[in-house]
Each structure stands twice: as structure tokens, then as C-alpha cells.
Structure 1
Amino acid sequence: MDPECSRLLPDLCAVLADPRQLVADDTCLEKLLDWFKTVTEAESSLLLLQENPCLVELLAQVLKLQDVSSRVLSFVLRLAGLFAAQEHCFQYLQGELLLGLFGEAGPFGQAAWTVPTVRSGWIQGLHSLTQHPSALDFLEDCGAIDRVFSLQGDSSLFVASAASQLLVHILALSMRGGAEGYPRHQNGDWPLCAQKIINHVEESLCSLATSQVTQALNVLTTTFGRCHSSWTDALWVRLHPLVARLLEREPIPAAHSLVDLLLSVARSPVVCSEEGSLWETAARTLNRLSQPQAGPLILGLLKLQQCPQALRTRAFGLLLQPLACVLNATTQAPGLPGLLDGPVGGDSAAVDTFLSSKAACVGLLCQTLAHLEELQPLPQRLSPWPQAPLLGAVVTVLQLCNGCVRVQRVALDFLGTLSEGSSPPELVAQVFAVLLEYLESPDSSPMVLRKAFQTTLRWLPSSPKTPGCSELRPHTLLFLRELFPVLQKRLCSPCWEVRDSTLEFLTQLIRHWGEQADFRHTLLDSEMPELAQQLLRDPESYVRASAVTAMGQLCSRGLHAIPTSPDNPEAQQGLLGEFLHILSTDSEGFPRRAVMQVFTEWLKDGLADVVFMATVLQVVSRDLDWEVRAQGLELALVFLTQMLGQPSLHCPYAVAPREAAPLSQLPKVLQTLSRVRLLDFAFRALFDCDRPVAQKSCDLLLFLRDKTAPYSCLQEAGDSPDLASVESVLRRWRVGEQGQPLEDLEPESVLAILRSMDLEDLQDTLAESSDHVEKSPQSLLQDMLATVSILENEADCY
């Protein structure tokens, strides 16, 4: 331990042990505990206590206090467990001290024990302590295990969960080293602690109280999930009859926890299922549970490759039961062969229950569709996968559930997943028909409409094309021609979420299909480009941002006037002017960020020039949004890359390979950078108060320095330029005086500035976290003591 920390510890321990002192908040105590954990991992806990006896005095003093604060008591309990985790230190503390903290004479009668954090601290302290065989004997002698049993039913769910976790930890430690020593069918000769826990679990499984059954099942679920030694197989053989007997009760107690246990055992790499007892119990559970209760078990079994085929088939049939109920209640069912051709699960009462309650029907449909969506892309899904019946079923559900948003959202998600499979053309036509209906319907909520847009995008690329033809298939073209009038109406919707979703959908359509001649003609024949441009002045900032992105895509695809195109100078200046107006005056950050993203894409595509760069950088350098300034630096780096050649591999901005500029051209390049105020912007951003902006500026200047290094070496032999004025401006910028601009820099001045700055060191500094200055243990101890001192002074003044 650091000597200065050792010097401060006695004062801090005295403060913690004094109930009259107002101790620092829980965050400081957590940091203090983390520090002690780091110290004990690096050195002997026994040596630490011997060199710092104030720590032992703190533990002993807290034991004597009846009015100790709950936060200090919880901290001390956890700290004691941390020290006692090492066996030599455990022996040093064993006796009155540990018994007083964790034994029957512990803090259970104090008022602080009623606070959940104290009970949690007691459990966490025991968890830390229980790391060696000596701790197991201590637990038995002091009666701590019985206390843990009682805390399983604690009113605090956090405490109850921690108690169950601790029992699993004790059981695993007790069985450590004896994993191979317990035959599968031998119930005797378990270690004492393990036997006590297992007996408690057995009693709880036989209890008539559902809460106790739940506690036992949760302990077993965690055990089989975490412990993968051979003794768990013997444990399952011993307890399986009691677990199976739960299925004989009416109703089944703790059904959810029972499902969790069966799946945990089924996933265990150790438990032997050769006798089929596990799968038989799983099958019986499927028969006994209701459809909502069985849903997680059905999904879990279908994900298991080792699950027997007959059980998987049965589980899949039960999964499809809600869909079959819907189809059998409509005229659509005869047209969908292959989807549960037999009885709908064979339970007419379940079918009647399903159809009699709208809430039950909606819940089960959502569960079924969500599980099918999860299974569809998995390699272990049931084979053959009924693609066509499922597609027909989900289309039918979408047609029937108009206005039921919950079902619509899940059904659209599943419909999008089904686009990855191969489907008959007639069903694909039905898919597009129902999607168009949803996009057109005034009853579609904004969320459902967004889902419909997303699903449409997933199905459009999967539409088959004529071999050897790059244009759209007639079926897809017809769909788009029907779709565009719908989109035009949506762009005029009074709901801003609808306008926003429609613009995002339009942008994606252009990205996917913008090069297709048929698509281009169809789009230009519509009013979509004009409507999108009008939304640049929408009252909602999200819509304005989406409109900027859509217009940027239209321009880059040649579907609107491009900023550098000579074909239509008035239109191009109009659009560029609108973007610059948004960048200069929009009060919200989203549209301005969108403009910068579009400008960067234009520059990558060669659709911008020096005048454009000078104008944009002049505006963006004054922006108050750090993300806009950071995007301005990205734009500057793209421009720099295009002039100087490809950056190193860490730079993602260059689009096409480019040879480095010859040495003779570098002065001209540097003069251009100075003329467009790029260097002024980059040097100013280097001292930006927002760290991400400064980091990007540092990266840009490092790239510039590396690219100009050959020319810089040639200049070093000559006279150094006069940098006094430049350095004066940089010093002012560093202290926050950002008003004074740099003069136009000569190439030699630029190179000299870059050589004089330690950019690597600055880059390392900027990469450090914001709390790197004061996060030492010494600083923590000083802060905690200073807080107490401040409180004392306030009391004296009062």
C-alpha cells in the first residue's frame, strides 16, 4: 500500500467508526471498497492488516456500536469478507470478530438490519469470505447457512436473489475436489454443507407454499447453469423425482421457475439425459402448462439441437397453435395446407379459451410471432421449415388485425424476416398487397407505418428479376407506381412522425434503386422530389433533417440539380443556398448535422470545389454544436485527402486510391488549404472545449504533418520563418480567446508550426478519460476526510 494512504487510513477509520460523523456518500464507500479489493488482490491481506491495525480496530469498533449507520455497517461487512477471503487472514480474524459480524451474535438485532443494503452487505461479505475449506466449517459452526435460508424469502428481491446466489456458491465450493467421487445414483456421503443445502432444497420442493418451491427451483436453475462438474448429474438424478412430482399438483406451482430449471438442465453439458427422464418431464410439462406458460419452454426446446425430434415436432406444433386457431376461424384455413393439418393441438378447451378473450388472443399471437421470428434464421430450426404456410398465415393475421397495434408490429417484424426465404410468386404478390394496404390505410399508427416501411424495404430487394436484365421486374415496377402516390400523401401528413418516416423510406429507396432507369423515370414522374424539398422548411427539426438527407441522395443520384453541375445553375444555387441557410440559421442541431453529412458525401463523390469548401468551413467553424464542428473536421479531412493522397490505414474517409502529391505541388496545396481557412479551422479546433472535436483536429494535423514530412525535411536546412505572430494567436486560443483569426499562412509557416507541436503527446492526453487527473486512492481518502472537515466547520459556525 502507498505510504501516504497508510498515513491517512487511521483518520479515515476513526471517522467511519464515529457515529457522530456524517460519512461520505455511498459512492465514495464503493470506490474505497474497490480500492481495497485491488490492494488485496496484489498483496497479502494478513500483511495489510498487520501493517495497518486501524483496519482491525474499525471492524471491532463497529461491532460494539448499536447506532452505527447502515451505510457504514454494510461497508464493514463487505470489507471483512474481502479480507477473510484469504485463508491466512481468515485464521487471523477468526473468533469473536468474524462471529460478531456473521454469526448468531451478529447485527441481526440492530435497527440497521432492517435496511436492505445491510442485509445485502452481510450476504456479499459471506460470499467473499467463502473461498476456502476453512470458511465452510465456519459457516456450519456459526449457523450462517440457516440465516441465508431465511433471507431467500426476504422482502427485498435484490437480497433474496443474492441469498440464492450465495447458496449456489457454497454448494459449488463444498463439492470442489469431489466432482468425480460421487456416483450418479449415490445419495449418501455428500459433504456436510452440500448435504444441508440439498436437504433444504428437497424440503422446499415438497412444500405447499409456492414461494418456497420457487426459491428451490431458482437455486437449482443457477446451479445447473453455472456448475458444470459431474456431481451436478448426480444432483439431478437425486432431485428429478421431486421436480417431476410438481406436475401432479393442481395448479402447478412456480410454473415459470420450473420452465427455467428444465431449460437450464437441458443446456448443461454435464447432465446425462440418456435415460430420457429430462425429455419425458419436458414433454409432460408441455402437456400440463397453458400456452402462455409453455411459450418460453417451447422456444428453448426448439433452440436445442440435442432435443429429440419427436419432442421438437410436438413443441413446434404447440407454437403454431395460436396461428392455427386464427386460421381455422376464417375461410383462409383451407388454402394453407401443411400448417397443422391435424387437430389444433387436440385441446378444444384451449382453443375456446384462446378465441374467447381478445387480450389472450393478442398476447398469444404476439408471443408466437416473436418466437417464430427468433427461430427463422437459426440453423437448428425445425426442418423442413414451412415457409409458404407461415407466410400465408402472417399475411392473414395482418389482414385480420387492423387496428391492433401490438399484433401488427410483431407480425410485420416476422414478415420482414420471412423475406430471407424462398416464397411462391402468388404469396409474394399477397405480401406486397398487404404492405401497400398498410402504407395507404389512415388507420395505421406512426409506429405501424414505420414497421411497414422497414418490412417493404426487406421485401423489395428480394423481388426476382429477369435473368440478365438490370431493370426492375414488371411486378416490382407496378408496385412502385402504386406506392409513390401513397408516399406523396404521407409526405403531406399532419403527423410529423409520418412525414419523417416517409422521408427516411424514400432515402432508402433511392439508395437501393437510384441507378435503375425504370425507378428513376417513375420517381421523376411523381411529385416526390418537390415535396421533399419543401420539407426542408418543415416546422419539426427531425423532418428537416430527414429532408436534407433525402435531398442529398436525390442530388448524388442525379435526380435533382447537383451543386457543381453546370446544367442548371439556378436550381443548384437554390438547393446549395437552402442547405447553407439551414447550416447558418437552423436553431436545432439535427438538420445542421444532416447538412454536414450530405456535404461530406458530395465531396467524396467529387461534387464540390474550393469555393464550396471555403464557404462551408467559414460557417461550420462558428457552429455551437460540437457534433457539427466534428463533422466539419471530417469534411476537411476528406478535402485534405483528395489533395494530398490516401491517408494511413487508420483513416476511413478516402474513397478512391490517390497518389501522393509531388513535392513541387505541396506549396500550392498548402496555400489552398490556408485560402479556404481549413488550417485556421483545424488549429482553432485543436483547443476546442469539447474533447471529440480536439481529437479529430489532432488526427487531421497529424495526417497533414505525415504527408508533408518529405517537403518539411528539405526546408529544415533553410531559415526558419518568423512564427511569433502565429504562436501568439495559438497561445490566445489555448486560453480561450478564440476571436483573433490567423493570417494567411505561408507553406513554410505551416510546416514549422506542425514541427513545433507535440501532436502525439496531445493525442495521448486527449485519449485519457475525463477523470484521469484525480482518481488515485490518496485523492479519494483526502476527499472523504475533507468532506467530514467541511461538515464539522459548518456545525461549529452554526
Structure 2
Amino acid sequence: MDPECARLLPALCAVLADPRQPVADDTCLEKLLDWFKAVTEAGSSLLLLQEHPCLVELLFHVLKPQDLSSRILSFALRLAGIFAAQENCFQFLQQGELLPGLFGEPGPLGAAAWAAPSVRSGWIQGLHSLAQHPSALRFLADSGAVDTIFSLQGDPSLFVASAAGQLLVRVLDLALRGPAEGRVCPQAWDWPACARKVVCHLEDCLRSEATPRVTQALHVLTTTFGHCRGLWTQGLWARLSPLVARLLEKDPVPAPHALVDLLLGVARSPVLSSDPGLWETAAQALSRLSPTQAGPLAAGILKLQDCPQALRIQAFSILLQPLAHVLEATAQAPGTPRLLEGAAGDLMAVDTFPPSRSACVGLLCSALAHLELLQPLVGVARPASALAAGPAAGTDAPSPPQPQRPSPWPQAPLLAAVVTILRFCNGSAAPSSEAGGRLCAMLVGCVRVQRAALDFLGVLSQGLGPQELVTQVFAILLEYLVSPDSSPTVLKKAFQATLRWLLSSATPPGCCDLEPYAQLVLGELLAVLQKRLCSPCWEVRDSGLEFLTQMTRHWGGQGSFRQALLGSEVPELTRQLLQDPESYVRASAVAAVGQLSSWGLLTAPSSPEHPAVPQKTPLEELLLVLTTDSEGFPRRAVMRVFTEWLRDGYADVAEDPEQSVAPVLRAASRDLDWEVRVQGLELALVFLEQLLGPRGPSTAAPPGALTQALQALCRVQLFEFAFRSLFDCDRPVAQKSCDLLLFLKAKATPSGSQQEVGDGPNVASVEAALRRWQAGEQGQPLGELAPEAVLAVLRSMDLEALRDTLAESSDHVERSPQSLLQDMLATVGVLGDNEADCY
């Protein structure tokens, strides 16, 4: 322990033991416990207590009848557990009857303080820390603590109840870890008494008619099989699995969600997954649980590698059933493939489909979400006929281990089902039965289902499908984009799904050309987009601009897209939205203008009747936003666009990079938003790379090129910006500046050599200015700099050390144990003001 901390510790213990003193807040006590835990992990707890008897005195003082706060009592219980985690220290504390006093009936268990949840929680956490060795196990058995843990599982405080369950897992693991260290799993009769007691308790809970007790046992077992990997878990599962399976015979099944968690936890355990009885129980659970309850189990089973194929098919059918019901509820065209072929007996009965709107919505949303997780594994799109017939031998690339997508994948019926769901939601579906009418009434206008269905529809674009279904997909997407009833969030999802389907319909895949049908859709999309950019709702305008930016990024060079876009009012509306009253929209407009400009799509068409009106260049427009916009989002977007323009060689910037970069850097250096300043330094770094070559292995630039580059950097006043940023109060700015100057230093002076450059006449003034800036005086500028002076200053600065300093946490000093002890003592006036380090 640090000598200064050792000097302060007795005073701190006295303050903590004094009920009259205002106690430090919970945060300070937590930090204090973290410090003691780190100290004991690094050395001997027994030696610590012997060298600092004030700690033992504090623990004994807590046992005296007095009006101690519950926080201090909880702190003392947890502290004692940290010390007693080492067996020799445990025996030292046990000899003085300290541990029975703290954790047994004589202590808080029999006092009024036990009514405080924080004391019960501290008692549990103290025992959890203590339960590390055989002596602790005997103490738990002899002190009656295990029975108390049983009772705390039903504690009204959820935190206490959860911690009690975790402590039971810890006790069970500690009790069985030693006997099971050999290769043979011990039989139940060979288990230690403490383990047998816990297992008997779990058995009683599983047999109970009270659902809360069943839930408690299932939670304990889930944690046990999820975290304990010993051979003894095989014996435990063999003993308890019949009781778990018996729960599925009850009507209704108790604690279904906890039961699903347990079955999945056991199935994921490498020690237990080979048990054939497990798969039988899982199959029984899929058939006994309701569709809503079985969904998470089915999805989890599909993520398992060693699962039997029959169970995988059953699980997939569970996920498909809600969508199959939707298809059955509408008039289907002849020949439309069904999700569950020949499934008269398998299809979810109409009577069992959730009758309430909330349950129906929840079931559909969960099914769509689970299926969505499987679809991203689709590789190159194949024709619908191939999908219907199943994969050809040797044609599919091996799938990633998790999750495993079922094969064949029913792409066409899934597309039909999702389109049907979206039609139910907007009221355009044609129900073919009374059940379909009820379903339509429950789903119409449901934003939650619309969002989930549009997400899944977008993911299904990776598999394509028959042309007639693709036509229906674009039709329903256009309906949602046009409809005045579509909420802003639904519109955003519709835009995203449309983009994904447009991308998937490129011919061939990866090409920038759109297939003929998609080109026809494009005209309608631009008409919709033109309308949405004029929406009174800012979220809609924002989503429309994001969609435009993405479309332009992908098809800005495609002829039909360019023609359609330039024939619309979209480019001009985008310019106008640079003045939108909402800052998010202005930021999205900046990004859209940047993309349109990169492809030359902001030039207004002119004719004798409508001559082109002279306009500012995009560069001038965005520079105006950077220098005048009052919000940070648009200014940050401008910096990203300028950086992208410079990096990609945008024509207006590439023509004279220095002239384009200089005003942007000047504006960024004065910006009050630290992210804008960081982006400005990133722009400067890209400019520097274009002058001297890319970052990477340290190679010096040729002298001539270096001189020209330094002169250009001086002209754009980069060094004023970079040197001042080294001392910026926002760490990311200083770090980015340090990276930039280190890169320049490496290019100017290769590793292992010193390039001789004479000191210019203003080197001393530059170094003096840097010292003033470091001291917080930011007034005087550097003025014009000579390249020689810049190099001399760079050589004299220890930028590597500065980089290491900036990498440290800003509160690494204030978080020191000494600072913590000083602050806690200063709070109660034990220290003078000059000794405190409050933060």
C-alpha cells in the first residue's frame, strides 16, 4: 500500500465507524471497495490486516449496537468478504469470531438493520466474495447461511433476489468443484452435504405448484449451466432433467420464459449438449408452448450446430407458422407456394392465433425479427425455381457456424407473406375468411408491425424471387412511400428497404446499371422523393435526403438515373434545404449536395425559355454553411464533405486544392465545436498526404518536395491550427493534432537520422508562443512562418511523449487511492483544504 494511503487510513476508518459523521456517498464507498479488492488481489490480505489493525477495528466496531447507517454496514460486510476470500485471512477473522458476528444470527440477520435492502445485498455480496475455498464452504453450512440464501430468493427487492440466486450458483460450484476434479463425475450420494442441500432445495422448487418458486429454481439452473463447466454439471442435469421435463406436462406450463432460457443454456453447454434427452425435451417444449413463448426457443435452436435435423425443421416451422397463417387468411393466387407444404395439421389453427391485438402484434414482430437474423446468410441470389427445389449439390458456399439458415429457404412464400402483412397494415389486403377479417382489423395502421415487416422485406432483397413477386414488392414499397398515413419512422424504413431492393436488382450483381423494371420504378421514386422533400415534417425531409444521398452514391454515374434526376426538381429542392429550419435536415442536405456535386448533378438545365440563373458553386455554398450555421451538425457534415471531396479528387477542389482548403481550415480552426476542429485536422492530414505521400512506414520526403509542401502548409496556415490544437481543452482535438505533426515529423526526418535545417529567425518566438498556449494564454497568433522554423520546432518537441500523455485517462490522477482518501476525509473536515483533491 502507498505510504500516504497508509497514513490516511486510520483517520478514514475512524470516520466510517463514527455514526455522527456524514458518510461519503455510495460512489466513494464503491471506489474504496474496488481499491481494497485490487490491493488484496495483488498481495496478502492477512498481511494487510496485520499491518493496518484499524481495518479489523472497523469491522469489530460495526458489530457493536449503535446507530450506524445501512450503507456503512453494507460496506463492512462486503469489505469483510473481500478480505476473507483468502483462506489464511479467513481463518484469522474466524478465530476472532468476527465472521459469525457479521454473517450469522448475532449480526445484522437478527437486527433491525436487516430490513434495509442494501444490508441484505451487502450480506450476499460479502458471502459471494468469501466463497472461494473449502473453509468458506464449511462456514456456510455450519452458520445456517444457506437457508437464509434460500429465503432471500423470494426477497421483495429484485436486486437482492437476483444476487441470492447467483450466490446459490457460487455455493453449488464451490461444493462440487473439488469432488469433480477427477475424470469421473461423482454420484449424487458422494456430493458434499452443502451441495445436497442446495440440490434438494432446487428439486422442491421444481415440484412446487407456486410459479415464483419454479422460476427461482430455473433461473439458478440457467446460471449454473451457463457459467459452470465442470463434469459435475452432467450429474446435476441427469438428476434434475426429469423434473424439468415434467413441467411441460402441466397446463399451463409454469414459467415458460425461464424454461426456454434454461433449455437453451443447457443446449449451449459443451458438457451437456450431447445428452439425447435434452433434444427430446426441447421438441416437447416446442409443441407444448404457445407460439409466442416457443419463438425464442425455436430461434435459439437454429443457432446450434449439433442440433438434430428433425428438431431444426420443427423449430423453423414454429417461426414460419405466424406468416403461414397470414397467407392462409388471404386469397392466394393458384400456384403460390405455401410456407408449410401439406401442413393442414401443422398450420397454426385459427383458434390458437392470438385473439388480442397486442398478442398478435407481438407474435408477428418476434417471428419477423427471428427470421431476419437467419436471412443475412444468403449468398449470391439464385432464381426462385432453384430456391423452391432446394440447393444443388456443391453449389452453396459453406455457411458460417451460427446461425444456421434452414435449407431450402422458402424465399418466394416469405416474400408473399411479408407483402401480405404490409397490405393488412395499410388496409389494402383482401381477407378470404372471418379470421382474415379479424387479422386485418388488428393490424391496420399498426406502426410496430409495419416497421418489422419493412426491415425483414429489406433483408429478403438478398435472395430476390420470381419477377411477379419483385413487382409486388416495389408496388407495396411505393404505396407506403406515397401514402399520407405512413408515419415518419415507417417512411424511413420504406426508404431503406427500397434502396436495398434497388441495389439487389442491379444487372449483373454489383453493376451500376438498374434492370429495366427498376428503371421504370425510378421515375415514380423521384416523384415521391420530390414530394417528401417538401413535407412539413422534418423527419420525413431528413429521410428523403438520406435516401437521395445513398441513391446518388450508387447510381450517380448511371445514365438513366442522371437523366431522371436532372429532369426533376430534386437537385434544386436539395439546395434549398441547406436553409432548412431544422439542423438535422441541413446536415443531411449538406451530405446530399456533396454527393450530387461529386457526380455533376447540381447543374441546373437551361433553355432559351428558362436560362440558367447564376448560382454559387457547391463549394461556396458549403463554405457559407460552415461559417454561418449556428448548429454543429451541419458544420460537421460540411467538414466530412470537404474531406471526401479532397480525398476523391472532386473537380472543383482538385483544380486548386490549396485555394480550396485554406478557407475551410481557417473556419474549422476557429469553430467552437470540437468535432468540427477534429474534422478540420483530418482534412489537413489528407491534404498533407497528397503533398508528401500516404501514412505508413516512415520514409522521408525528397528535400524539394518537402520544401514545397511546407511552403504550401504555411500558406494555408496549417501550423497555426495544428500547434494551437496541441493544447486544445478537448482531448480528441489534441490527439488528432499530435498525429498530424508526428506524421509530418516522420516525413521531414527519417528514423535514425537528423536532417540539418538551420533555425529561422522566428524559432524562439514560436516556442515562446507554444509555451504561452500551453499555459492557457491563447491570444497572440504565430503569424507567418518559415519552413525552416517549422522543422526546427518539430525537432525540438517531444511529440511522442505528448501522444502517450494524451492517451492516458484525463482523471488518472484524480482516481488515485490517495486522492479518494483525501476527498473522503476532507468532506468531514478531517483534512485541511490544501490537502484535499476534490473533483
**TM-score, length of structure 2 as denominator length:** 0.88
Matched ranges for 1:342-741 at <5 A: 342-343=342-343, 346=346, 350-354=349-353, 356-377=355-376, 379=399, 380-402=404-426, 403-465=445-507, 471-560=513-602, 573-607=616-650, 608=653, 609-648=657-696, 662-709=702-749, 716=756, 718=758, 721-741=761-781
Offset of residue 198 of structure 1: 0.4
Aligned identity (percent) is 70
**1:2 and 2:45 are equivalent in the alignment:** no
Q: Does the residue aligned with 2:63 lie in a helix, a strand or coil?
A: helix
Residue 226 of structure 1 deviates from its aligned partner by 1.5
The offset of 1:691, in angstroms, is 1.4
Distance in 2 between residues matched to 1:621 and 1:454, nearest whole Å: 36
Structure 1 unmatched runs, 5+: 563-567, 651-658, 794-798
- Is 1:646–1:660's contact at 8 Å kept on the other side of the alignment? no
What is the Cα deviation at residue 401 of structure 1? 1.4
Matching residue of 1:290: 290
Letter in 2 for 1:102: F
**Residues in 2 aligned to 1:52 and 1:180: alpha-carbon distance in whole angstroms:** 37
Task: Name the aligned partner's letter for residue 240 of structure 1.
Answer: S
After TM superposition, the structure 1 = structure 2 runs for residues 29-108 of structure 1, keeping only pairs within 5 Å, are 29-95=29-95, 96-108=97-109
Q: 1:507-551: per-residue Cα shift (whole Å, max 9, x none)?
A: 000111112122212211121111111111111111111111101
* Amino acid corresponding to residue 562 of structure 2 in structure 1: R
**Counterpart residue number, 2:112:** 111
Residue type matched to 1:387 in 2? Q
Cα displacement string for residues 396-450 of structure 1 (whole angstroms, at most 9, x for unaligned residues): 1111212211111111111111122242222222211111111111111110111
Most deviating of 73-82 and 60-69: 60-69
Q: Is the 8 A contact 2:677 2:733 kept in 1?
A: yes
User: In the TM superposition, what is the alpha-carbon distance from 1:196 to its structure 2 partner?
Assistant: 0.3
1:127 is matched with which residue? Answer: 128
Q: Which amino acid is the alignment partner of residue 254 of structure 2? A: P
The number of equivalent residue pairs is: 778
The 5-angstrom pairing of residues 209-288 of structure 1 reads 209-271=210-272, 273-274=274-275, 276-288=276-288
Report if the CA contact (8 A) 1:19-1:67 is conserved.
yes
Bigger mean CA deviation after superposition, 243-252 or 93-102: 243-252
2:776 aligned counterpart, secondary structure: coil
Deviation at 1:660, TM superposition (A): 7.0
Q: Is the 8 A contact 1:712 1:751 kept in 2?
A: no
* 8 Å contact kept, 1:113–1:119: yes
Change in 2 beyond 3 A, CA 1:422/1:539: closer
State the secondary structure of the residue aligned to 1:248: coil
> Alpha carbons of 1:324 and 1:99: their partners in 2 closer, same or farther (altered >3 Å)?
same
Residue 104 of structure 1 contacts residue 144 of structure 1 at CA under 8 Å; is this kept in 2? Answer: no
- Taking the aligned partners of 1:539 and 1:736, their CA distance within structure 2 comes to 37
Is this contact kept in 2: 1:561–1:571, CA < 8 A? Answer: no
More off after superposition, 243-252 vs 17-26: 243-252
CA distance 1:526–1:479, change in 2 (3 Å)? same
Partners of 2:582 and 2:365 in 1: CA distance: 33
- Give the corresponding residue for 2:803: 763
Change (3 A) 1:104 1:612: same
**SS in structure 2 at match of 1:716:** coil
Matches of 1:535 and 1:718, distance apart in 2: 53
Match of 2:607 in 1: none
Per-residue deviation, residues 469-518 of structure 1 (Å, max 9, x unmatched): 86332112111112111110011111100000000010000111112122
Compute the TM-score of the two structures, normalised by the length of structure 1.
0.93
Aligned-pair CA distance for 1:717: 6.8
Q: Distance in 1 between matches of 2:45 and 2:614?
A: 76
* Counterpart AA for 2:669: S
Q: What RMSD over aligned residues (CA atoms) do the two structures have, in Å?
A: 2.6
Name 1:782's counterpart in structure 2.
Answer: 822
* Residue 796 (structure 1) aligns with: none
Q: Deviations over 1:610-665 (max 9, x none)?
A: 22222222222211111111111111111122122222269xxxxxxxx9753134
The residue type paired with residue 636 of structure 2 is R
**3-state SS, counterpart of residue 320 of structure 1:** helix
Question: Residue type of the partner of 1:359?
Answer: S
- CA shift for structure 1 position 316: 2.1
Deviation at 1:729, TM superposition (A): 2.8
For residue 565 of structure 1, what is the aligned residue in structure 2? none
Q: 1:337, CA displacement in angstroms? A: 2.1
Give the deviation of 1:310 after TM superposition. Answer: 2.2
Deviations 1:111-169 (A, max 9, x none): 33222121111111101111111111111111000000000001111111111111111
Shift of 1:321: 1.7
- Match of 1:736, as an amino acid? G
Partner secondary structure for residue 282 of structure 1: helix
Q: Which amino acid aligns with 1:268?
A: S
CA distance in 2, matches of 1:327, 1:439: 24
The unaligned stretches of length 5 or more in structure 2 are: 378-398, 427-444, 605-610, 834-839
| Counterpart-to-counterpart distance in 1, 2:832 and 2:114 | 28
Equivalence for 1:145: 146
Deviates more, 1:120-129 or 1:607-616: 607-616
Distance 1:509 1:98, change over 3 A: same
Partners of 1:662 and 1:375 in 2: how far apart? 54
* Aligned residues of 1:548 and 1:579 also touching (Cα < 8 A): yes
- Which residue in 1 is equivalent to 2:192? 191
In 2, distance between residues paired with 1:489 and 1:369?
A: 31
